[in-house]
Each structure stands twice: as structure tokens, then as C-alpha cells.
Amino acid sequence: FATTKPSVSYRASSTLMAKLGDSIDFAKYEGLGNDFILIDDRDKSDPSLTPEQSERLCNRNFGIGGDGVIFALKAPEGEDYDFTMRIYNSDGSEPEMCGNGIRCFAQFLKDLGEDSESYRIKTLAGPIIPVMNADGTITVDMGEPILDGPTVPTTLAPNSEHNSVLEQTHTCNGKEWKISAVSMGNPHAIIFVDDLETDIDFSIDGPALESDTGAFPAKTNVEFVQVMDPTHLKMKVWERGAGPTLACGTGTCALVVAAIRAGKIPRAGKEGVRVTLPGGDLFIEWREENNKIYMSGPATLSFKGQAILKDRP
């Protein structure tokens, strides 16, 4: 691909690009290092790339590189939405929602010249509402957490109120875990540990739990969490369909819910709970009055360009 601010050499290579076949304009964004390729499909109802093409573009050696591809689509006719968001993970699978992705989506809309202070976005997890803050961060109404075990979905036996799975014992990869299951439209398995550095074998335990379809039939995102103090948590995430990422917004919302429900931290006020992810901090408020979760954090444009749609690898 080449940048959209063409240099002399780019102009020379545009003939070459024409010869090579189809290409697509993109913008690359990141939210705390969780990085996405954004495609402007505001005139379309369906993504302009297939899952296979998206997987190739996410390849960090043969493509642009990214944890996923996000499509900004028009809202369905007659429905009360401003836009639709669809996303493919870097392995081509389609998740229901993406927390860092929706902040990148909102920033992308702003950079494209849309000028609303907030948007009502249709996602496979229902309506999600990002609000642009004056300081450049974005606060997202992420909706209510889903606690009902079968709806998450998990087959682990419910052991808490709302038919939920809270620190339920489960063996995976020859180890016994205490798993809390929470969905933010997409499934999350949350595990509290005393020490994130010594208590887990991240690159082995992460994928084993992700693909434990006996316990999580739709696979799951996996968050390992250490309580630092009553308003500060630290996490490492292994994402379904993307592997280790620097941040996961839905996962951060889910783990705050699990931490409060398990009595590990109190329910904080408007200032929210600070969660340190490998790529930086997110602030999460689980509001008592409406049971909704609000996530605040940054989203930043990294670069723009034009990608050639190749058949390999």
C-alpha cells in the first residue's frame, strides 16, 4: 500500500497498482494499541471486503497489520440509528462488538467530517452510543452486561444470582481456574490472579481457554486480572480470533462487572474504575441507576492509505 499523500514515487507506482488489480482506501486507528483497519462504507449496507480479504489485510507481514477490520456502514432504512458497525477479527471471524473499535469508529466518523457529538451505532450486540468529549477522549454507553450463563454463552454451571457464573471452578489445560463469565454482546472469561507475571503461562493458558468450546461454545475472550487497589485493576487479554492484544474494551467492561460482583472492589462513582491494560488505561463506570456500563478512553488515527487486495498468503 502507499500513503494518500502521494510522493513522487507513489505517483510512479500508481500505474503498477492499477496493473496489480483491486485496491481499497483505508485508515488505520488504534485505541490503546488495539489496532484496526477502518473502511468507509457509509454508502453501503454490507462490508466491501470478505472475511478472507480482511484476514489478509490484518496480516502484519503480508498486509497492513491489525487486530481487525471495521466497516462504517449506513444505518438500515427506517431504523433509529446513525450508522452500522461491523467488524472482522484478524482471523476473519465476526464478533458482535468491539469496545476499542467503537471508539476508533467514532473518531473515524469525526475525521471523515461527521460532526455529531454522539452517535447511535447499530452493532450485532445492539445499540452502542459513543460520545465525543471536549478533551479528545470518547465515552461509550456500552449497554448492560449479560450475566445469564447460557446467554453468554457458557455451559459452566451457574452459581450466583441472575443465573450467572461467578468464580466457578473449571479445569482447562490441566489447571484449575476460577472463571467468571460475562457478555458485553461478546463472551468473556475472567480470571482473577494474585500476580499477572507469575501466576499464568499467558501464551499457553490464553489460547487453551479461548478454544475450550466445551465450556464456551462460541469460544471466548480471556481476561486475567490483578487487583491493584479498590479503584485500580490490571489486566492481560487473550482475544478470541485475534490472540494477545494490547487492549480490549468489552473485556475491560466485563472484568469490572466481575470484580464488583465478586466483591473484589466496591462500585466506584462517576470517576469510574481505572483499568491498566498492556496498551494503557481505560476508565469504566458501571452505573447503578440504569445498570449500563460507560467506558472512557482514547482513539487515534495512525495513518491512511490504499491497500492492494492480494490473493495471498
Binding string to ligand LBFN2T5F for residues 186 to 215, with x set by CB under 6 A, is what?
A: x-----------------------------
Pairwise CA distance, residues 140 & 272, whole Å = 13
Q: Provide the minimum distance between the beta carbon of 183 and ligand LBFN2T5F in the complex, in angstroms, as a whole number.
A: 9
Identify whether 172 is a catalytic site residue: no
- For residue 70 the three cell numbers come to 471495521
Task: Name which of 58 and 156 has its Cβ closer to ligand LBFN2T5F.
Answer: 58
Helix, strand counts (H, E) of the chain? 5, 17
Given phi > 0 = left and psi -120 to 50 = alpha, else beta, which region is 158? beta
Which of 84, 100, 139, 168 contacts ligand LBFN2T5F by CB under 6 A? Answer: 100
Q: Does 107 contact ligand LBFN2T5F by CB under 6 A?
A: no
Q: Provide the minimum distance between the beta carbon of 60 and ligand LBFN2T5F in the complex, in angstroms, as a whole number.
A: 16
Q: Does 41 contact ligand LBFN2T5F by CB under 6 A?
A: no
Contacts of 33 (CB under 8 A, 6+ apart): 245, 246, 247, 278, 279, 280
| Catalytic hit among 58, 104, 172, 248 | 248
Q: For the chain, give the number of residues.
A: 313
- Please give the size of the binding site for ligand LBFN2T5F, defined by CB under 6 A: 18
Q: Provide the minimum distance between the beta carbon of 7 and ligand LBFN2T5F in the complex, in angstroms, as a whole number.
A: 33
Residue ranges in 238-257 that form contacts with ligand LBFN2T5F under rule CB under 6 A = 239-242, 245, 248-251
Q: What is the largest CA-CA distance in the chain?
A: 64
Q: Provide the minimum distance between the beta carbon of 46 and ligand LBFN2T5F in the complex, in angstroms, as a whole number.
A: 19
Q: Does 279 contact ligand LBFN2T5F by CB under 6 A?
A: no
List Cα–Cα distances, 51 to 58, 75, 131, 232, in angstroms. Answer: 10, 21, 29, 37
List Cα–Cα distances, 17 to 28, 76, 309, in angstroms. Answer: 20, 34, 10
Q: Does 221 contact ligand LBFN2T5F by CB under 6 A?
A: yes
Q: Provide the minimum distance between the beta carbon of 176 and ligand LBFN2T5F in the complex, in angstroms, as a whole number.
A: 25
Among 258, 254, 251, 260, which Cα is nearest to 231's? Answer: 260
Q: Which residues are marked as active site? A: 98, 248
